[in-house]
A and B are shown apart, each in its own frame.
Chain A
Amino acid sequence: MSDPRSTAPPRSTVLRPRHEALGASFTDFGGWDMPVRYTSDLAEHHAVRTAAGLFDISHMGEFLVTGADAAPFLDEVLAGRISTMRVGKAKYSLVLAEDGGIIDDVIVYRIAEDRFLVIANAGNRDAVAAAFAERVPHPGLVEDVSDHFALIAVQGPAARAVLEATAGVEDVDPSLDRLGYYAFAAATFAGEALFVARTGYTGEDGFELLVSNRHAPALWDALLAAGTPLGLVPAGLAARDTLRLEAGMPLYGHELSRDIRPAQAGLSRVVAVDKPSFVGKVGVDPVETAPVLVGLVSEGRRAGRAGYDVYDGDIRVGEVTSGALSPTLGHPIAMAYVDPAASAAGTVLHIDVRGTRIPATVTDLPFYRRNP
């Protein structure tokens, strides 16, 4: 899962001392040394499904796009229609290359009519910055603020209760009971601006909190103190990965890459093809025979994993991009790119698990959906 292009030593977030004190193990992810688990992947996973988990996702990249031409600029450099977003809302979108391949998947937040926050994957921060710089109409429109902010996610059915109980979080506007999913609120923590987004990467309700590096450790401590009685535990990237896999959410470098067009990944809905122009428009349609992303479910406990071949009878029809024994469902799940002819739900394929062919049935994504 580490970024093979990265050669510099991995960086650490400002919360590193907190993770060490909590006994975390670390892994290189996107050029960052991040907590992979604190005690147990499975316990952390189950905590997020039943109570709440606390994640340091400060490795992610943040860009502010500010100015009268911010909206038209984002309409051009992102696949979605950004200019019609309402202030206070969030939107999932893609940064495409000219040929329609995916440079990154991002979340865009409209902070004001002329001001947007774009959150990008850690490993793609430079690629996104370069893609934006290529089209930027004037200097100063886009500012990479990644190094100034920490990002903390609170995810799980108890996330709202945790945030409401957290000392120092004040002036949340709109209040959490009125804040919808894929929307955000302004707030303060210890008197300083706090950005509260109701977004996440786990398939649960939850929040992503953007805070200055300086205040991040105190916010982490306050969340943990308020949340522990409610079942909140710190959770690492291992749990984050199985959570997002169950929720059918793509991970860049696995389900998404420069060689994948949005339609192949089931993301046609986020491409506003009727926009007069945007980067990638000419190349966005994949060839008809291009492999498509499917979910695969198996019985037993042996999971297909990234890179394993998928067969239809004796014919290789694709490759697994992510797979695990689902902690919530108790059986193996995987996402894979397969030939369109083998992609219909209900088709029985086989995954080659280190020499053993395991039956796997094509299924609609997501594997797991929370109760509303």
Chain B
Amino acid sequence: MSHDIETLLYTPEHEWVHVDGDVVTFGITDHAAEQLGDVVFVDLPAVGGTVTAGQVCGEIESTKSVGELYAPVTGRVLEVNGAVDADPSAVNADPYGDAWLVRVQLEGDLPELLDRSAYAQLIGAAS
């Protein structure tokens, strides 16, 4: 099931963020996926480890380039999406649904993130 992009939050580094209480799920936006091209490899953080808001926590590789995955929040990694590891093309096919990447237990407050209109403005300005 795809998330509704209107209700998601976003980072300037093109991650989308879904907040459900203190469980935060994130992935990369369709804009980021399009910029990368066909994704062929994802390197996601270890389950049980900690990610820090604003820090690189993984990599997304396409045939042509490498993108860094930034943690939008600080927290402990509950789960990563093994299906995307097995079939990275899901990142292009369904970035807001099947290709969620990381689920974390939020620690501390939610950092300041962009809403849809602010993100849309950001990518509009960038293209």
Contacts and interface: CB of A to CB of B under 8 A. Distances in A.
Contacts of B38: 40-43
A41 B37 contact: yes
Nearest to A44: B38
Contacts of B63: 41-42, 45, 238, 242, 324-325, 327
Nearest to A330: B40
Interface string B35-54: 00110110100000000000
B92 interface: yes
Interface in A17-70: 25, 36-37, 40-43, 45
A302 B89 CA distance: 15
Interface residues of B, number: 14
A178 interface: no
A36 B66 contact: no
A36 B41 contact: no
B32 to A, nearest CB: 13
B62 interface: yes
B11 to A, nearest CB: 21
A103 interface: no
A35 to B, nearest CB: 12
Nearest to A301: B41
Interface string A194-205: 000000000000
Contacts of A301: 40-41, 61
Contacts of A43: 38
A interface secondary structure, majority: mixed
A255 interface: no
B34 interface: yes
A370 interface: no
A112 to B, nearest CB: 41
Contact of A41 (B43, B61, B64, B66): B64
Given A37-B37, A41-B38, A238 B92 contact: no
B66 A305 contact: yes
A5 interface: no
B98 interface: no
Given A36-B37, A41-B37, A354-B66, A302 B61 contact: yes
Nearest to A327: B63
Contacts of B79: none
Given A40-B92, A354-B59, A325 B41 contact: yes
A25 B34 contact: yes
A354 B61 CA distance: 12
Interface string A300-343: 01110100000000000000000011010000000000000000
Interface in A280-307: 301-303, 305
A40 B61 CA distance: 14
Among B34, B41, B59, the most chain A Cβ lie within 10 Å of the Cβ of B41
A42 B91 CA distance: 14
A241 interface: yes
B41 A238 contact: no
A302 B41 contact: yes
Interface string A231-263: 000000010011000000000000000000000
A238 B64 contact: yes
Nearest to A324: B63
A34 to B, nearest CB: 13
Considering residues B37, B62, B66, which has the most beta carbons from chain A within 10 angstroms of its beta carbon?
Answer: B37
Among B34, B62, B89, max chain A CB count under 10 A is at B62
A253 B66 CA distance: 20
A325 B66 contact: no
A41 B34 contact: no
A41 B41 contact: no
Nearest to A236: B37
Contacts of A41: 37-38, 62-64
Interface of A: 25, 36-37, 40-43, 45, 238, 241-242, 301-303, 305, 324-325, 327, 354
Given A42-B63, A325-B61, 11 more contacts: A25-B34, A40-B92, A41-B64, A238-B37, A238-B63, A238-B64, A302-B41, A303-B61, A324-B63, A325-B40, A327-B63
14 contacts: A25-B34, A36-B37, A37-B37, A41-B37, A41-B38, A41-B63, A41-B64, A43-B38, A301-B40, A305-B66, A324-B63, A324-B64, A325-B61, A325-B63
Give me the 9 closest cross-chain CB pairs, A-B, nearest first. A301-B41, A42-B38, A41-B38, A41-B63, A325-B40, A41-B37, A238-B64, A40-B38, A324-B63
